[in-house]
Amino acid sequence: MTFKLTGFDLDKFVRDTLAEDLGEGLPGGGKDVTSESVIPADARFSGVMDTRDAIHVAGLPVAEAFFRTLDPDMTITILVEEGASVPAGTDLMHLEGNARAMLTAERAALNTVQHLSGIATMVAEYVRAMDNPDCTLLDTRKTIPGLRHLEKYAVRMGGGSNHRMGLWDAAMIKDNHVLVAGSVGEAVRRAVEGGVKDIICEVDRIDQIEPALQAGATRLLLDNMEPDTLREAVALVAGRVPTEASGGINLQTIKAKAATGVDYVSVGRLTQSAPAADIGLDFTPL
């Protein structure tokens, strides 16, 4: 299965992850001592990856890449589509190939699928709780270093959308930027003068809205506002720019905040705090 994400090097990710697990470059490293000492070099396994939780699936093509890197001739069948919602007990992948390769790649492959499927599953839960087709659920930059592209991919597999990919693709003016600039309006003006096209400005008070808009903000992030205040803010913006609710949003509060008329709701815990899905891999000697 072909798997490509803009800005993400799958081959490098697989190589680096396996090198970390094998201890490449360390004294005595560069090998799986358990498999090499216990498993004959020509031994073969069949394997079944299955989920013990009801999940939204994400990461199976990455898991496949781990196994194929160590055994290019391994027979691998992915049984479900990325983003699919499956019940507990569902088989996700069948494998047949070199036993040592399968055991060496097992943990890296499982870690990846467990983590990404955990994110996708949490995102789907938030989308259901939001229950609002007119509002879009967004992630944030609260990602594990080195995994941003994969984690934001998992958000999409769960039915959410991506906010900024990084510091480069939009300005995000927050309280510390305002502190230095002196005011919300001045901070936005400086971004406009700097030639920034997309300027998201965080406001936590109603009186900051008009100065931000007048200065040229292209989106307002309405931070830590309760539903009544959000409705007032949306009415003041009057559709001039998109609005985003952020801060203090969980499964219990998201529906009320999304119902205020905002265009987006962003939730950091989607990538920051999603629990790993319970996914296993069982082997049978051939």
Residue 116's CATH number: 3.90.1170.20
Counted domains in the chain: 2
Distance CA 79, CA 92 (A): 5
What are the CA-CA distances from residue 267 to residues 76, 130, 170, 273 (Å)? Answer: 35, 12, 18, 10
Strand duo 279-285 + 44-51: pairing = antiparallel
pLDDT at 256: 98
Global pTM value: 0.96
Segment 114-171, tens digit of pLDDT: 999 999 999 999 999 999 999 999 999 999 999 999 999 999 999 999 999 999 999 9
3-state secondary structure of 170: coil
Residue 17 included in any domain: yes
The residue segments making up the domain with residue 28 are 10-121+274-285
pLDDT at 275: 97
Whether residues 146 and 113 fall in one domain: no
Residue 89 included in any domain: yes
Tell me, what CATH number does 143's domain have? 3.20.20.70
Strand duo 136-138 + 264-266: pairing = parallel
